[in-house]
């Protein structure tokens, strides 16, 4: 506040000084009082002129934006200038901080996994992030301030905005025609709306798959259950001969076995989905795996086919033995089950140039038409449903094989020609294949 006193002192001293000089000059003419008053007035007028000049400098500084430092002036005007400057700088700093916060906020919204759009009270686009623009097929710059319903014309969306029914999200087709979007609108502020979009294509697909899966499992279990229930009723109500009773019991056992296989395969799939990938350093001899597969295949074929096996020499694989056994057994048992009597099933080990290993199962069965090949590994997908069920198939075998292959970093390859046969190949990456270390004699360096 020191400047106030200086200013008062300055004004007083000018008035007094002027009065004093006026008094001295007026005394010579005999107008001492008038001279003093005129002197004081001139002092005050001089102060006013100075104020006008200084005030003009401050105004000029303000009118050009006050970007530079305030004009260097002493006293009241200097203080006024520096106070205005301080207030302006503080406002600028605040505005800058707010701008930064807003930029950060917008960057965060930009990173949102959802599309975000702000609409004003007349449903014009005020702002949207890149994802919302992509979801709704808009151009962020060009479509700004456009009415959203002029650009997004999906009837469900337009109806929701018109009816202001914002409680439930609406699902609309992706404008690019690939999939489904969920759109939620929430009112805020004075008539403004926040619009959130989410791509739910994958979720919907997964939901549909889950629904199909449950329906398929229920259907697969219901059929043998109905048969068993029918037989139980027959056994309870009808007096059967010993031969008939045995036949019915055998059929019941067959259906029970079918349910057991189905539940077994379902559990295998669940285990495959829920457990970590098999270790890449746990080695097992392919010959051991091969022996188990061979035993199983010979039992299943019961001499009806020509079976040939070649498991290579001393090969070792890295992975989960139970999973690999289940995969190869599935392929070989399919070959045996689908190949008519007298046909051939050949299982062979091979290695690619890059070191990847292949277990191929080739049969001379009916073959599979090309249009079925991409879907064969889907759960419960069957080309020939009745043959599959008659031979104890669950429709899950190839789904299990594909899973096992993927978990080991490999893949399942299928080639088939109708009328000639099929070839299913389980490919394992080089890191999971170990060749025997050749002995010195075998390498020809010994005697």
CB of 340 to ligand ADP, least distance (A): 10
User: In this chain, which stretch among 55-63, 85-93, 102-110, 358-366 interacts with ligand ADP, using CB under 6 A?
Assistant: 358-366
Closer Cβ to ligand ADP, 42 or 217, answer by number: 217
User: In this chain, which stretch among 20-28, 175-183, 276-284, 379-387 interacts with ligand ADP, using CB under 6 A?
Assistant: 379-387
Closer Cβ to ligand ADP, 359 or 433, answer by number: 359
Give the contact letters, 394-433, x = binds to ligand ADP (CB under 6 A), - = no.
xxxxxx----------------------x-----------
Is position 357 an interface residue for ligand ADP (rule: CB under 6 A)?
no
Cβ 384 vs Cβ 419: under 8 Å: no
User: In this chain, which stretch among 18-26, 127-135, 208-216, 390-398 interacts with ligand ADP, using CB under 6 A?
Assistant: 390-398
Closer Cβ to ligand ADP, 36 or 368, answer by number: 368
CB of 259 to ligand ADP, least distance (A): 14
Alpha-carbon distance 15 to 13, whole Å? 5
355-373 core/surface letters (b: 16 or more CB in 10 A; e: else): ebbbbbbbbbbbbbeeeee
**For helices 32-63 and 2-29, angle between their N-to-C axes, nearest 10 degrees:** 140
Is position 360 an interface residue for ligand ADP (rule: CB under 6 A)?
no
Give the contact letters, 309-338, x = binds to ligand ADP (CB under 6 A), - = no.
---------------------x---xx--x
Within 51-90, the residues that bind ligand ADP by CB under 6 A are: none
Alpha-carbon distance 42 to 23, whole Å? 12
Adjacent-strand bridge partners of 184: 196
Four-point Cα dihedral 349, 351, 355, 357, nearest 10: -30
Is position 384 an interface residue for ligand ADP (rule: CB under 6 A)?
yes
- Among residues 57, 147, 245, 382, which is the contact residue for ligand ADP, using CB under 6 A? 382
Adjacent-strand bridge partners of 361: 347, 424
Cα dihedral sign, 21-24-30-34 = positive
User: In this chain, which stretch among 113-121, 168-176, 198-206, 363-371 interacts with ligand ADP, using CB under 6 A?
Assistant: 363-371
- Among residues 278, 365, 409, 410, which is the contact residue for ligand ADP, using CB under 6 A? 365
CB of 184 to ligand ADP, least distance (A): 40
* Pairing state between β 357-363 and 344-351: antiparallel
Closer Cβ to ligand ADP, 239 or 419, answer by number: 419
Determine phi and psi for 293, rounding to 5 degrees: -65, -45
Q: Is 25 left (phi over 0), alpha (psi -120 to 50) or beta?
A: alpha
Closer Cβ to ligand ADP, 224 or 397, answer by number: 397
Size of the site for ligand ADP (CB under 6 A): 22
Alpha-carbon distance 184 to 135, whole Å? 13
Is position 366 an interface residue for ligand ADP (rule: CB under 6 A)?
yes
Count other C-beta atoms under 10 Å from residue 270's C-beta.
Answer: 10
Helices first, then strands: H and E counts in the chain: 12, 13
User: In this chain, which stretch among 12-20, 157-165, 179-187, 362-370 interacts with ligand ADP, using CB under 6 A?
Assistant: 362-370
CA angle 359, 387, 403 (to 5 degrees): 35
- Among residues 393, 402, 408, 432, which is the contact residue for ligand ADP, using CB under 6 A? 393
Adjacent-strand bridge partners of 76: none
CB of 325 to ligand ADP, least distance (A): 15
DSSP output for 222-267:
HHHHHHHHHHHHHHHHS---HHHHHHHHHHHHHHHHHHHHHHHHHH
Within 155-174, the residues that bind ligand ADP by CB under 6 A are: none
Q: What is the contact surface with ligand ADP in residues (CB under 6 A)?
A: 330, 334-335, 338, 363, 365-366, 368, 376, 381-384, 388, 393-399, 422
């Amino acid at each position: 506040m020191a400047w106030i006193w200086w200013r008062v002192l300055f004004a007083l001293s000018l008035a007094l000084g002027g009065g004093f000089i006026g008094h001295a000059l007026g005394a010579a003419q005999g107008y001492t009082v008038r001279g003093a008053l005129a002197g004081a007035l001139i002092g005050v007028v001089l102060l006013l002129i100075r104020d006008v000049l200084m005030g003009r400098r401050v105004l000029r500084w303000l009118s050009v934006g006050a970007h530079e430092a305030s004009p260097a002036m002493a006293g009241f005007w200097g203080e006024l200038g520096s106070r205005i400057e301080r207030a302006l700088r503080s406002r600028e700093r605040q505005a800058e901080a707010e701008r930064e916060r807003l930029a950060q906020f917008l960057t965060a919204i930009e990173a949102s996994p959802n599309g975000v759009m702000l609409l004003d009270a007349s449903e014009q686009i005020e702002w949207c992030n890149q994802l919302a623009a992509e979801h709704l097929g808009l151009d962020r710059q060009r479509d700004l301030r456009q009415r959203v319903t002029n650009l997004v014309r999906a009837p469900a969306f337009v109806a929701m905005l018109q009816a202001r029914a914002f409680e439930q999200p609406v699902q609309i087709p992706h404008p690019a025609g690939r999939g489904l979007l969920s759109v939620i609108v929430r009112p805020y502020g004075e008539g403004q709306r926040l619009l959130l979009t989410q791509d739910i294509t994958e979720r919907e697909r997964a939901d549909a798959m889950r629904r199909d899966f449950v329906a398929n499992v229920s259907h697969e279990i219901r059929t043998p259950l109905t048969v068993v229930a029918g037989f139980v009723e027959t056994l309870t109500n009808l007096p059967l001969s010993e031969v008939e009773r045995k036949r019915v019991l055998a059929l019941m056992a067959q259906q029970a076995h079918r349910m057991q296989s189905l539940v077994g395969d379902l559990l295998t799939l669940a285990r495959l989905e829920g457990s970590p990938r098999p270790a890449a350093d746990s080695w097992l001899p392919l010959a051991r795996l091969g022996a188990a597969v061979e035993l199983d295949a010979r039992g299943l074929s019961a001499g009806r086919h020509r079976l040939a096996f070649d498991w290579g020499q001393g090969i070792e694989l890295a992975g989960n033995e139970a999973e690999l056994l289940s995969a190869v057994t599935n392929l070989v048992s399919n070959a045996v089950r689908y190949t008519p009597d007298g046909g051939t099933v050949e299982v062979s080990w091979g290695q690619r140039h890059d070191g990847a290993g292949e277990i191929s199962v080739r049969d001379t069965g009916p073959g599979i038409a090309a249009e079925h090949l991409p879907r064969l590994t889907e759960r419960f997908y069957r080309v020939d449903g009745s043959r599959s069920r008659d031979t104890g198939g669950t429709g899950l075998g190839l789904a299990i094989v594909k899973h096992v292959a993927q978990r080991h970093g490999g893949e399942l390859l299928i080639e088939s020609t109708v009328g000639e046969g099929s070839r299913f190949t389980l490919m394992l990456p080089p890191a999971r294949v170990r060749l025997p270390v050749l002995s010195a004699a075998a390498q020809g360096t010994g005697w």
